[in-house]
């Protein structure tokens, strides 16, 4: 049967073409400039890819978009060519990404503007990282220099911090999915780590593209665990970094921000110890001065009291001497007694009364001859 003899119904023809296409091109990737981009009912996506001489129609859903797109961007679209029963030929999109420096930047700028408008990068959303953390959830490639640098600097500065790694690919198609899954996995742990660190070393704009995808940026922003994102590069900041609670320029810088340097802490402790010592010395010196002063006062008070007592006693002794009855006898006074009674008046005597006369050095007995009263 020659080809001329084949007669088919329209439906049969569509089926035959699709079978042929499926056989010839199970999947094909086409690169071209985006044109006539439109979204229908928030779900269906239609656009053309074109070059100078040709244009091809594409069809897909919004879930396959890498982010906001704009006509003129250069895209690489993988899809299945199909002939639709009603709408003609189009390529059904499987996945797509912007290509070329300009388009990648343009796509990133559009996505950044969209996420910024949603408030994902608001400074008010930023949380403080625990300092230092006890446990770190690390998301990076386990084989990378970034991983080794991070752990090396972390342990050199502080040590004793537990690091739990989820090993992911940090570039390529699968990277955004793995990074997002790792962030979610840490967040779902019964005892989640104190901080999440997402990091990789520097690379080309395409190498770093995973960290500017909508998926990863949203996962970082949604993390209940505080996040630190450090993507090593010079110029551009990835969107994941903008969404993170804190960002660092390199994996090493991330470790530096997370923990203090034990050398500095020890030096600080030494200074504090010195201050403590000096303060204590000062308190002791003050107490010593105070004590010296108090002791002097106490001694002076004691001396003063004793001196006063001595002086008062001397006066009392002088007064006592003034009333010394023996002194009167020595001056020629005498004490006359009748019996045991001291006679201080002549009325108590009469002629013939026996009396005892006490002198300073002796006792004399005598008899009264007469008594003459004297008027005063």
Partner 1 sequence: MTKKQDYQALSQELESVLAALQRPDVHVDEAVTLYEQGLKLAAALEGQVKDAENVIKKLKLQYGEDGNNA
What is the Cα–Cα distance from 343 to 1, expressed in whole angstroms? 188
Judged by CB, which is closer to partner 1: 274, or 324? 324
Question: In the set 109, 285, 287, 306, which binds partner 1 (CB under 8 A)?
Answer: 306
Kindly state the smallest distance separating residue 295's Cβ from partner 1, in Å. 2
Place of tokens 């002088």: 318
- C-alpha closest to that of 168 among 213, 135, 204, 200: 200
- Residue 337: Cβ-neighbour burial (10 angstroms; 0-12, 13-18, 19+): middle
Kindly state the smallest distance separating residue 267's Cβ from partner 1, in Å. 38
Task: Assign 3-class secondary structure to 320-371.
Answer: HHHCCHHHHHHCCCCEEEECCEECCCHHHCCCCCEEEEECCCCEEEEECCCC
Q: Is 364 an interacting residue with respect to partner 1 (CB under 8 A)?
A: no
Kindly state the smallest distance separating residue 299's Cβ from partner 1, in Å. 7
Rounded to the nearest angstrom, the gap between the alpha carbon of residue 34 and the centroid of all alpha carbons in its chain is: 49
Judged by CB, which is closer to partner 1: 266, or 298? 298
> Do residues 104 and 209 make contact, with C-beta atoms less than 8 angstroms apart?
yes
Q: Is 299 an interacting residue with respect to partner 1 (CB under 8 A)?
A: yes
Question: In the set 85, 296, 330, 360, which binds partner 1 (CB under 8 A)?
Answer: 296
Judged by CB, which is closer to partner 1: 23, or 323? 323
Q: Is 291 an interacting residue with respect to partner 1 (CB under 8 A)?
A: yes
Q: Is 301 an interacting residue with respect to partner 1 (CB under 8 A)?
A: no
Question: In the set 19, 20, 61, 294, which binds partner 1 (CB under 8 A)?
Answer: 294
Site stretch for partner 1 (CB under 8 A), options 24-32, 152-160, 185-193, 290-298: 290-298
Judged by CB, which is closer to partner 1: 54, or 319? 319
Task: State the CB neighbour count (10 A cutoff) for residue 151.
Answer: 17
Question: Residue 357: phi, psi to the nearest 5?
Answer: -110, 120
What is the Cα–Cα distance from 228 to 163, expressed in whole angstroms? 14
> Do residues 39 and 63 make contact, with C-beta atoms less than 8 angstroms apart?
no
- Residue 69 gets which letter from DSSP? -
Residue 189 neighbours by CB under 8 Å, 6+ apart: none
Judged by CB, which is closer to partner 1: 20, or 311? 311
**Burial per residue of 25-53, b for 16 or more beta-carbon CB atoms within 10 angstroms, e otherwise:** eeeeebebbbeebeeeeeeebebbbeeee
Q: Is 267 an interacting residue with respect to partner 1 (CB under 8 A)?
A: no
Site stretch for partner 1 (CB under 8 A), options 18-26, 123-131, 299-307, 367-375: 299-307
Q: Is 302 an interacting residue with respect to partner 1 (CB under 8 A)?
A: yes
**Per-residue tokens: 139:** 């998301």
> Do residues 353 and 367 make contact, with C-beta atoms less than 8 angstroms apart?
yes
Site string for partner 1, 307-346 (x = CB under 8 A): --xx-xx--xx-xx--xxx---------x------x-x--
Kindly state the smallest distance separating residue 294's Cβ from partner 1, in Å. 8
Judged by CB, which is closer to partner 1: 113, or 342? 342
Kindly state the smallest distance separating residue 318's Cβ from partner 1, in Å. 10
Q: Is 61 an interacting residue with respect to partner 1 (CB under 8 A)?
A: no
| Residues engaged in binding partner 1 (CB under 8 A) | 291-292, 294-296, 298-299, 302-303, 306, 309-310, 312-313, 316-317, 319-320, 323-325, 335, 342, 344
């Amino acid at each position: 049967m020659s080809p001329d003899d084949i007669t088919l119904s329209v439906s049969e023809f569509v089926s035959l073409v699709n079978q042929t296409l499926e056989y010839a091109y199970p999947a094909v990737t086409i690169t071209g400039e985006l044109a006539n981009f439109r979204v229908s009912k928030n779900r269906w996506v239609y656009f053309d890819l074109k070059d100078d001489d040709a244009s091809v129609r594409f069809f897909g859903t919004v879930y396959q978009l890498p982010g906001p797109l704009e006509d003129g961007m250069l895209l690489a679209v993988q899809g299945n060519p199909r002939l639709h029963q009603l709408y003609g030929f189009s390529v059904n999109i499987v996945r797509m990404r912007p290509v070329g420096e300009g388009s990648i930047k343009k796509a990133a700028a559009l996505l950044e503007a969209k996420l910024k408008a949603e408030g994902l990068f608001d400074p008010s959303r930023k949380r403080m990282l625990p300092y230092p953390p006890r446990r770190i959830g690390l998301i990076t490639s386990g084989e990378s220099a970034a991983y080794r640098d991070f752990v090396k600097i972390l342990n050199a500065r502080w040590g004793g911090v537990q690091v739990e790694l989820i090993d992911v690919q940090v570039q390529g198609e699968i990277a955004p999915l793995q990074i997002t899954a790792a962030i979610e996995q840490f967040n779902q742990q019964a005892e989640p780590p104190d901080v999440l660190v997402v990091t990789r070393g520097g690379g080309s704009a395409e190498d770093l593209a995973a960290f500017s995808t909508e998926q990863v940026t949203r996962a970082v922003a949604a993390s209940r665990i505080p996040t630190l994102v450090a993507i090593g590069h010079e110029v551009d900041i990835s969107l994941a970094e903008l969404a993170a609670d804190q960002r660092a320029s390199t994996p090493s810088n991330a470790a530096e921000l997370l923990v203090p340097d034990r050398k500095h802490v020890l030096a600080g402790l030494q200074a504090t110890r010195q201050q403590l010592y000096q303060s204590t010395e000062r308190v002791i010196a003050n107490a010593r001065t105070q004590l010296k002063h108090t002791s002097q006062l106490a001694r002076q008070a004691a001396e003063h009291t004793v001196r006063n007592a001595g002086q008062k006693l001397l006066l009392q002794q002088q007064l006592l001497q003034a009333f010394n009855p023996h002194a009167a006898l020595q001056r020629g006074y005498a004490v006359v007694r009748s019996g045991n009674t001291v006679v201080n008046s002549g009325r108590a005597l009469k002629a013939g009364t026996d009396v005892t006369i006490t002198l300073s050095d002796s006792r004399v007995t005598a008899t009264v001859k007469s008594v003459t009263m004297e008027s005063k």
